[in-house]
Amino acid sequence: AAGNVGPKVAAIVDKVAELTLLETSQLVQALKTKFNITEAIQVAAGSGAPAAGAAAPAEEKAAEKTEFTVKLEKIDPAQKAKVIREIKNLIPDMNLVAAKKFVEGAPKVIKESVPKAEAEKIKKALQAFGATVVLE
């Protein structure tokens, strides 16, 4: 856990760090629903997602693109198995065979209309396995 946070918050941060990308996305959605948080409230409050870096002024936030399409362009053949496993974890209800066909059929859209922080997280995770990922 980072910074000056209490032990309770530090424990939660450590638990969240163990989640897959899909589970993290589900957690974010559940928290938004539980606390009735909308994107408009976040922009008005000037608080961006922590992974997105420093918060920008509200006018700049409004003009900035907030939803992205994450697209797998190509993969490193030597690390194909790792990319397939990650894709299987990212896309709900996808089995290993479907994930293999998906990866072999690149370029393919992984997810559409995802928040910037989640899109960056997916991109970073797949790039770690030698995949070329584009945010549109």
Q: pLDDT, tens digit, for every residue of 11-52?
A: 888 888 888 888 888 888 888 888 887 765 444 444 444 444
- What CA–CA distance (Å, rounded) separates 9 from 1? 8
3-state secondary structure of 38: coil
Q: Provide the pLDDT confidence category of residue 54 given band limits of 50, 70 and 90.
A: very low
Q: pLDDT, tens digit, for every residue of 106-120?
A: 888 888 888 888 888
Q: Provide the pLDDT confidence category of residue 2 given band limits of 50, 70 and 90.
A: low
Residues 6+ apart with CB under 8 A from 65: 116
Looking at residue 64, what is its pLDDT? 64
Cβ proximity of 22 and 70 under 8 Å: no
